[in-house]
Amino acid sequence: MLEAILRSQCALDPRRPVLVGVSGGPDSLCLLGGLHAAGYPVIVAHFNHKLRPEADEDAGFVADHARSLGLPCVTESADVAAYAAGQGLSIEEAARILRYRFLFAAARKNAAQAVAVGHTADDQVETVLMHFLRGAGLDGLKGMEYRSLLPAFDPEIPLVRPLLSLWREDTEGYCREHGLSPRLDASNADPAYFRNRLRLELIPILTRYNPQFKSALLRSAAALQGDHDLLRESVEAACRETCRESGEGWIAFDADRLAGLSPAMRRNLIRTAGETLRPESSDFGFEALLRVADFAGQPAPGKQVDFACGLYLFAEPGRVVLAAYEADLRSAAWPQVDSAVEIGAAALDLGDGWTLAIERLDLDAPRLELPGDTWSAWLDADALNGPLTVRAPRPGDRFQPLGMPDGSLKLSDFFINVKLPKRARAHWPLVCSGDRIVWVPGYRPAHAARGTEATRRVLKMSLKKL
Amino acid sequence: MLEAILRSQCALDPRRPVLVGVSGGPDSLCLLGGLHAAGYPVIVAHFNHKLRPEADEDAGFVADHARSLGLPCVTESADVAAYAAGQGLSIEEAARILRYRFLFAAARKNAAQAVAVGHTADDQVETVLMHFLRGAGLDGLKGMEYRSLLPAFDPEIPLVRPLLSLWREDTEGYCREHGLSPRLDASNADPAYFRNRLRLELIPILTRYNPQFKSALLRSAAALQGDHDLLRESVEAACRETCRESGEGWIAFDADRLAGLSPAMRRNLIRTAGETLRPESSDFGFEALLRVADFAGQPAPGKQVDFACGLYLFAEPGRVVLAAYEADLRSAAWPQVDSAVEIGAAALDLGDGWTLAIERLDLDAPRLELPGDTWSAWLDADALNGPLTVRAPRPGDRFQPLGMPDGSLKLSDFFINVKLPKRARAHWPLVCSGDRIVWVPGYRPAHAARGTEATRRVLKMSLKKL
């Protein structure tokens, strides 16, 4: 049965090496024995938590056992208590992080196809119960999976748990049958650990309410895993249809499509996007999800809402963007400039594939309406004076757009009127003649540079993205 | 807050009547008071379970209270214990069925927009915990909803539970504030009822593991309801793309599309279809779902698999059908006949919109290949002898299809060869001349009735569905 699980549920290839985390307890000895017997090339890995007096003996036992099987063995130790104190983590959480870091680093170094750990059906029941008590959603209640990725530790090497349908007493039986004397972890009986209290006290109580409680919980977890997979499929399909663009630390959605999804789908989609931006965080909290899903249901351009884990959501015309507070939100879809550059005869490279081209044309006859579109403009060359430059906006900039014969606007108000997304404004390219803005690419030429009856010489400018 | 819940979560219209189930306890008195104060036209309904000595006093109390509010009151009683014994149900389950039957019947009679009941957040916690202990899936763990349909009781009138976010002590506080003296149900303290043991013993224990256990569970339920809704959306979309046809007691799926879905989606889809066929059943069991989803993943035409609740799944060429064992599987998409009918000059009505038309043609020149397609055939009229009839297959029928010059086949083997679905065979129409089958519509004319050089007179037959 284990062989079938290794192949199908864990999707392991019997010819490629597997790195097995071995504590020396019955579960990991059983897992190691099973993988070895099934013919997998195995690398034994032991992490010495240095938390108990017997820790070094455990490490020696594992190394000896690996040697007796003729298997390579890698070990590492770390000061878990110090790390926990430094990071403000519980001892269990700190131990978990350091242990997985070591296991995945060793797996990568040894070109292992997966990290295998000895979690059993009992661990699954404890895990699901723990999530149940703290009010988890589907993500937590589904429990552990035979094969999963932990992007916080490695983006590709999966964690596999081949023993998830085996009870702890089965692994103990395996050790007895194979003459193995597993190490006993005395801390497993310490009621100071929450998980131990569940195992020793609470699960026996719950079993009084349903004698089949443990297998019932396993069945629940299996059903919820199926539902979770299905949900993930749907959410990923919705993502593909809703995401429009992304950059380092941000993901932009089509505002209408996002608002058109059901609230539950919006919550799931934003959670999935949040996990992409913050792979080390797995729990944003349900309240936070409700808040951002509400916001995305009726987004008001210019507004933003805090999410969780240093992420926030903001709306701009046509887009809703999930972003990290520290992210650079510039989009390569827009032309953006940093400093002022003089426009010469040659085409000007503005970066991100954007180029400004210039052409000088002579007109045979007057044309009252000069042509132009979003990304190109014809200007009256004789109306321009002073050197032509491209630069970013400056405080106090004013602009007199075509069609506004008298006075001028604050450039910031013009940007608001034309609904230029806020994050694009600071670096939006402005074509200037001397200190006057003569063209705001993407929007409007200046009124003073328009074509008149007298226009004979034209400057044709176009901005193009390759 | 209650008013907002009545409007948004329960989707009630304040101008239309609501039927409120009132036991006389604090929850239902609070619900009644809240609806009445919010201006809803209310009909009070009390079901007398006749299980406790005080039952008649409770009924009198509710009637008096309704009168004091100037509200109409309907009551009914039934012998719950006898019904439980007769149906082999627990007292609780029998009481629930009879109570809801009464409430929905009364709601319909009084043109109420909904049946409202006083389930509180405490009931929700108990319900979710009960499902958790028995190993439920998402369906159970999501708990009760503010508004839901119970198709077993009424296909249209919803059940609403406006108090789901109010704790029981809040409803008691409401009664104190409003000078109401709710009836006390002594059976609420009886540990013989499983639910009471949860409330009195287990929930206090679980609260030692998480002081916020009850609100954590409420939060879980809310999150799971969202996921459940999302899942339902996806499943319904998959249903629309996969269902091909349905009849009384059966639903046919496109076999390839069904097999192309993920196993979790197949399970959900078949469960949904099962609920449509058996609205009174809500739990088919996870094992059964795994079994049918497996079958549908690699359907073998001619095979079938048992599902649950008197339903089974069978495969036929191109289709997988979920059906009740007692269902009549005839499809209106096929021509089907019961008895023999003589073919005269006029078109023959075969029922379900199917008509057999006949035309006699004279050929000017010999045509070796007579035309014909699935639903029409040209036969050599001079090769036919004996009266023309349409009839269903009979035991022992043999057929000599066009292209088989010597001998003949058992008609049943011919049906297998052409992959005619099994359920269509017993009533498939056969066109006969005397005792010889001359055309199997949908498949092949008889060899003996083919066109030859000598053919001059043709019988053109066509079967059409309006």
Tell me the mean pLDDT in the region B47-54.
89
CA-nearest of B40, B33, B34, B37 to B12 is: B40
pLDDT for res A80: 92
Give the H/E segment covering residue A301: none
Question: Which two three-digit tokens encode residue A366?
Answer: 């007057």
Asked if residue A210 has pLDDT above 90, the reply is yes
Please judge whether B234 and A229 are an interchain contact, meaning their C-beta atoms are less than 8 angstroms apart.
Answer: no
Asked if residue B459 has pLDDT above 70, the reply is yes
Burial profile B46-72: b = 16 or more Cβ within 10 angstroms, e = fewer: bbbbbeeebbeebbebbbebbeeeebe
Q: Which residue has the higher pLDDT, B74 or A237?
A: B74
Please judge whether A227 and B137 are an interchain contact, meaning their C-beta atoms are less than 8 angstroms apart.
Answer: yes
Classify residue B403 as exposed, middle or buried by CB count within 10 Å of its CB (0-12, 13-18, 19+).
exposed
B437/A58 Cα distance (integer angstroms): 84
Q: What is the pLDDT of residues A49-64, one digit of tens each?
A: 888 888 999 999 999 9
B321/B330 Cα distance (integer angstroms): 12
Question: Which two three-digit tokens encode residue A136?
Answer: 């988890």
Q: Considering only CB atoms, which residues of chain A are within 8 Å of chain B?
A: 132-138, 141, 194, 197-198, 202, 205-206, 209-210, 212-213, 215-220, 222-224, 226-227, 229-231, 233-234, 262-265, 267-268, 286
Asked if residue A238 has pLDDT above 80, the reply is yes
pLDDT band at A349 (very low <50, low <70, confident <90, very high): confident
Question: What share of chain B has pLDDT > 90, as a percent?
Answer: 62
Q: Which residue has the higher pLDDT, A71 or A91?
A: A71
B387/B406 Cα distance (integer angstroms): 24
Chain A residue numbers with beta carbons less than 8 Å from the beta carbon of B262 are 229-230, 233
Looking from the CA of B445 toward its CB, the CA atoms found within 13 Å total: 24
Please judge whether B141 and A217 are an interchain contact, meaning their C-beta atoms are less than 8 angstroms apart.
Answer: no
Q: Give CA separation, A8 vs A13, A158, A160, A166, B258, in Å.
A: 10, 14, 12, 16, 22
B285/B274 Cα distance (integer angstroms): 12
Asked if residue B279 has pLDDT above 90, the reply is no
Q: What is the pLDDT of residues A81-131, one digit of tens each?
A: 999 999 999 888 999 999 999 999 999 999 999 999 999 999 999 999 999
Q: Considering only CB atoms, which residues of chain B are within 8 Å of chain A?
A: 132-138, 141, 194, 197-198, 202, 205-206, 209-210, 212-213, 215-220, 222-224, 226-227, 229-231, 233-234, 262-265, 267-268, 286
Write out the E strands in A61-103. Answer: 73-77
Q: Which of A135, A215, A286 sits opposite B217 (nearest CB)?
A: A135
Question: Which two three-digit tokens encode residue A448?
Answer: 């003073």
**In degrees to the nearest 10, what's the CA dihedral of B385, B388, B389, B393?**
40
Cβ–Cβ < 8 Å for B399, B411: yes
pLDDT band at B286 (very low <50, low <70, confident <90, very high): confident
Question: Which two three-digit tokens encode residue B459?
Answer: 């019988």
Residues 6+ apart with CB under 8 A from B154: B104, B107, B108
Chain length of chain B: 466
Please judge whether B227 and A264 are an interchain contact, meaning their C-beta atoms are less than 8 angstroms apart.
Answer: yes
Cβ–Cβ < 8 Å for A21, A51: no
Asked if residue B318 has pLDDT above 70, the reply is yes
A346/A355 Cα distance (integer angstroms): 10
Asked if residue A413 has pLDDT above 90, the reply is yes
Cβ–Cβ < 8 Å for B26, B182: yes
3-state secondary structure (DSSP) of residue B194: helix
pLDDT for res A305: 95
Q: What is the pLDDT of residues A197-209, one digit of tens each?
A: 999 999 999 999 9
A58/A48 Cα distance (integer angstroms): 8
Tell me the mean pLDDT in the region B279-302.
86
CA-nearest of A138, A139, A146, A140 to A164 is: A146
Mean pLDDT of chain B: 91
Among all chains, which residue has been given the structure tokens 């701009």?
A316
Tell me the mean pLDDT in the region A228-234.
88
Q: Which of A198, A224, A268 sits opposite B230 (nearest CB)?
A: A268
DSSP per-residue codes, A383-437: G--S-EEEE---TT-EE-BTT--SS-EEHHHHHHHTT--HHHHTT--EEEETTEE
CB atoms within 10 A of CB A302: 13
A52/A48 Cα distance (integer angstroms): 10
Specify the DSSP class assigned to residue A75. E
B392/B437 Cα distance (integer angstroms): 11
Phi, psi dihedrals of residue B101, rounded to the nearest 5°: -55, -45
Tell me the mean pLDDT in the region B231-242.
90
3-state secondary structure (DSSP) of residue A81: helix
CA-nearest of B289, B287, B240, B288 to B266 is: B289
Question: Which two three-digit tokens encode residue A266?
Answer: 């919006």
Q: Give CA separation, B281 vs A283, B95, B124, B168, B264, in Å.
A: 36, 17, 21, 30, 20
Which residue does chain B place closest to A139, by CA atoms? B224
A258/A274 Cα distance (integer angstroms): 15
Q: Which of A215, A231, A286 sits opposite B219 (nearest CB)?
A: A286
pLDDT band at A369 (very low <50, low <70, confident <90, very high): low
Tell me the mean pLDDT in the region B423-430.
91
Asked if residue B368 has pLDDT above 70, the reply is no
Classify residue A230 as exposed, middle or buried by CB count within 10 Å of its CB (0-12, 13-18, 19+).
buried
Asked if residue A365 has pLDDT above 80, the reply is no
Q: Is B195 left (phi over 0), alpha (psi -120 to 50) or beta?
A: alpha
Q: Give CA separation, A391 vs A329, A381, A397, in Å.
A: 19, 19, 11
B325/B306 Cα distance (integer angstroms): 10
Please judge whether B264 and A205 are an interchain contact, meaning their C-beta atoms are less than 8 angstroms apart.
Answer: no
Q: Is B153 left (phi over 0), alpha (psi -120 to 50) or beta?
A: alpha
Tell me the mean pLDDT in the region B341-361.
85
Mean pLDDT of chain A: 91
B13/A414 Cα distance (integer angstroms): 46
3-state secondary structure (DSSP) of residue B74: strand
Tell me the mean pLDDT in the region A135-156.
92
Which residue does chain A place closest to B262, by CA atoms? A230
Please judge whether B135 and A202 are an interchain contact, meaning their C-beta atoms are less than 8 angstroms apart.
Answer: no
pLDDT band at B450 (very low <50, low <70, confident <90, very high): confident
Question: Which two three-digit tokens encode residue A456?
Answer: 């004979």
Cβ–Cβ < 8 Å for A463, A375: yes
Asked if residue B370 has pLDDT above 70, the reply is no
Q: What is the pLDDT of residues A453-463, one digit of tens each?
A: 788 888 888 99
Residues 6+ apart with CB under 8 A from B458: B360, B361, B362, B363, B370, B378, B379, B380, B381, B451
The minimum CA-CA distance between B267 and chain A, rounded to whole Å, is: 9
B231/B225 Cα distance (integer angstroms): 10
Helices (H), A282-363: 286-297
Per mean pLDDT, which range of A233-247, A437-451, B262-276, B277-291 is the poorest? B277-291
Asked if residue B25 has pLDDT above 70, the reply is yes
Which residue does chain B place closest to A218, by CA atoms? B135
- Beta-strand relationship, B319-324 and B311-316: antiparallel
Q: What is the pLDDT of residues A269-308, one digit of tens each?
A: 999 999 889 987 767 877 888 899 999 999 998 899 999 9
Chain length of chain A: 466
CB atoms within 10 A of CB A371: 11
Chain A residue numbers with beta carbons less than 8 Å from the beta carbon of B212 are 135
Q: Which of B138, B220, B286 sits opposite A135 (nearest CB)?
A: B220
Asked if residue A368 has pLDDT above 80, the reply is no
Q: What is the pLDDT of residues A7-17, one digit of tens each?
A: 989 999 999 99
Question: What residues pair up with A378 in beta bridges, in sequence order?
Answer: A460
Cβ–Cβ < 8 Å for A352, A424: no
Q: Is the dihedral of CA A106, A112, A118, A124 positive or negative?
A: positive
Q: Give CA separation, A414 vs A314, A425, A440, A461, B187, in Å.
A: 21, 11, 10, 21, 73
- Beta-strand relationship, A42-48 and A18-21: parallel
Per mean pLDDT, which range of A341-355, A389-403, B426-440 is the poorest? A341-355
Task: Pick the most confident of A182-191, A342-351, A361-370, B196-205.
Answer: B196-205
Chain A residue numbers with beta carbons less than 8 Å from the beta carbon of B215 are 135
Give the H/E segment covering residue B358: strand B354-362
Question: What share of chain A has pLDDT > 90, as a percent?
Answer: 62
Question: Which two three-digit tokens encode residue A257?
Answer: 């499509």
